[in-house]
C-alpha cells in the first residue's frame, strides 16, 4: 500500500493516468481519435514543442527560466534560409550546422549576462526575446519565404516519412521523419542528466546555487553550457519547424513558449529548480499536444486552447507545492511523536 502511495505521488504517474483517462473520454466521444492517422497527427504536432521542451527542461532544473528560445529559433531559421537563398548553397547538413551555430551564439549571448553579471534569467531572456526579434526584422527581413522556391533539400525533408501505413479509411497514414529528431534529442538529454557530472551540476544548481559552488561545481561554466545548449537546440528546432511548415516566416512560433513551459512543468519540473525528468517532460508534451489536437474532435473551439493551457500551468505548479507541504506536515508529525 505504501508503495502504491509513493507511486501515485509521482507527477509522471499522475500525468500518465490523466492522458489515459482523457484519451478514453475523447475516444468515446469521437472514435476516430484512436485511428492511426490521428495518432500520427498528434505525434507530429508534438515534435516542435517536444524539442523545445528538452532545452527548457535543463534550464528549469538549474533554477533558471528561458523565454527567448522562440526568438532564437526564428532568427536561426530565417537567417539560414536567407543564406541559402542568397548563396545558392543548398545542403541539408549545412542548413542544420548554420542554424545550430546561430542558435548557439544567441544562447551564449544570454549566458554572458546571466553567468558573468548574475542577472535574473527571466529578465535577461525577456529582453533578448525582443532584441533578437527586433534585429531580425530590421536587418534581415520580414517577408515570408517559401521553402520550395529556395531549398529543394529542405522541401524534400518536409515530405520525408519514417513510417507509412495504409489507412483503412482510404489513402495512407504517415509518421514524419522529423520525429527521429525528437527521439534522438530526448535520449541525449536523458543521458546528460542521468550519467554525467554536468547533469549532476545542473541538478545541484537548482537545489541550491551557493551549495553547488561550495562542493566544487563550476557554476559559471555550467550556465554557459545550459544556455548555449538551449540556443543550439532552438536553432536546430527552427530548421525542423521550417521544413514541417514548408516556409520561413519571421513571425512564426510566437507564443509557443507558454505551451513548452506548461509541458515541462506538468511533467514534474519545478519552477524553483532541482527537479525534472525527460520522461515526465515527454508526458507533459503529449498531454499538451493531446488537448490542443483534440479540441476539434470534441467540437470545442480552438479559442479555448489558451484557457486550458493556463489552467494546466496552475495545476502543474500547484501539485509539487501541495506535495511538499504534505511531506513537511508528515515529517513534523513524526518528529512530534
The number of angstroms, rounded, from the C-alpha of 322 to the middle of its chain's C-alpha atoms is 25
Q: What CATH number is associated with residue 135?
A: 1.10.3470
Cα–Cα distance between 23 and 79 in angstroms, integer?
40
What are the percentages of helix, strand and coil residues in the chain, rounded to 5? 75, 5, 20
Q: Is 250:137 a contact under the CB 8 Å cutoff?
A: yes
Say if 5 falls within a structural domain.
no
Domain span holding position 241: 11-330
Give me the number of domains the chain comprises.
1
pLDDT (0 to 100) of residue 7: 65
Cα–Cα distance between 240 and 77 in angstroms, integer?
9
Give the DSSP letter of residue 145.
Answer: E
**Which residues are within 8 A (CB) of 236 and not within 5 positions of it... i.e. 6 or more apart?**
51, 96, 99, 100, 103, 181
Say if 17 falls within a structural domain.
yes
Say if 183 falls within a structural domain.
yes
Say if 18 falls within a structural domain.
yes
Cα–Cα distance between 255 and 225 in angstroms, integer?
25
From the list 88, 82, 116, 118, the residue with the least C-alpha distance to 102 is 82
Say if 221 falls within a structural domain.
yes
pLDDT (0 to 100) of residue 8: 62
Neighbours of 127 (CB within 10 A): 14
Say if 4 falls within a structural domain.
no
Say if 3 falls within a structural domain.
no
- Mean pLDDT per segment of 10 residues, for the chain of length 337 residues? 64 86 87 86 94 97 96 96 94 96 98 96 96 94 91 91 79 87 97 96 93 93 98 97 93 88 89 92 93 74 71 71 70 69
Say if 335 falls within a structural domain.
no
Q: What beta strand segments (E) does the chain contain?
A: 145-146, 161-166, 172-176, 247-248
Amino acid at each position: 500500500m505504501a508503495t502504491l502511495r509513493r507511486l501515485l505521488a509521482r507527477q509522471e504517474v499522475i500525468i500518465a493516468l490523466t492522458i489515459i483517462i482523457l484519451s478514453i473520454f475523447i475516444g468515446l466521444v469521437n472514435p476516430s481519435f484512436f485511428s492511426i492517422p490521428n495518432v500520427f497527427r498528434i505525434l507530429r504536432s508534438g515534435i516542435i514543442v517536444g524539442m523545445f521542451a528538452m532545452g527548457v527542461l535543463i534550464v528549469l532544473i538549474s533554477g533558471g527560466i528561458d523565454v527567448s528560445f522562440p526568438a532564437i529559433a526564428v532568427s536561426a531559421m530565417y537567417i539560414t534560409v536567407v543564406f541559402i537563398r542568397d548563396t545558392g548553397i543548398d545542403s541539408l547538413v549545412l542548413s542544420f550546422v548554420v542554424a545550430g551555430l546561430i542558435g548557439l551564439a544567441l544562447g551564449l549571448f544570454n549566458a554572458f549576462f546571466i553567468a558573468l553579471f548574475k542577472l535574473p534569467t527571466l529578465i535577461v531572456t525577456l529582453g533578448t526575446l525582443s532584441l533578437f526579434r527586433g534585429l531580425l526584422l530590421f536587418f534581415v527581413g520580414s517577408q515570408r519565404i517559401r521553402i520550395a522556391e529556395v531549398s529543394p533539400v529542405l522541401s524534400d525533408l518536409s515530405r520525408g516519412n519514417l513510417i507509412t501505413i495504409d489507412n483503412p479509411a482510404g489513402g495512407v497514414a504517415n509518421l514524419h521523419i522529423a520525429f527521429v529528431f525528437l527521439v534522438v534529442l530526448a535520449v541525449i538529454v536523458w543521458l546528460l542528466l542521468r550519467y554525467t557530472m554536468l547533469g549532476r551540476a545542473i541538478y545541484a544548481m537548482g537545489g541550491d546555487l551557493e551549495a553547488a559552488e561550495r562542493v566544487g561545481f563550476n557554476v559559471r561554466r555550467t550556465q554557459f553550457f545550459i544556455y548555449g545548449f538551449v540556443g543550439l537546440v532552438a536553432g536546430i528546432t527552427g530548421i525542423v519547424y521550417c521544413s514541417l511548415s514548408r516556409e520561413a516566416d519571421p513571425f512564426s512560433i510566437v507564443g509557443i513558449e507558454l505551451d513548452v513551459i506548461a509541458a515541462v512543468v506538468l511533467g514534474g519540473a519545478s519552477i524553483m529548480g532541482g527537479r525534472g525528468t525527460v520522461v515526465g517532460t515527454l508526458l507533459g508534451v503529449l498531454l499538451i499536444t493531446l488537448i490542443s489536437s483534440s479540441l476539434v474532435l470534441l467540437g470545442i473551439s480552438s479559442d479555448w486552447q489558451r484557457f486550458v493551457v493556463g489552467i494546466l500551468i496552475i495545476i502543474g505548479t500547484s501539485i509539487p507545492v501541495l506535495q511538499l507541504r504534505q511531506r513537511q506536515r508528515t515529517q513534523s508529525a513524526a518528529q512530534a511523536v
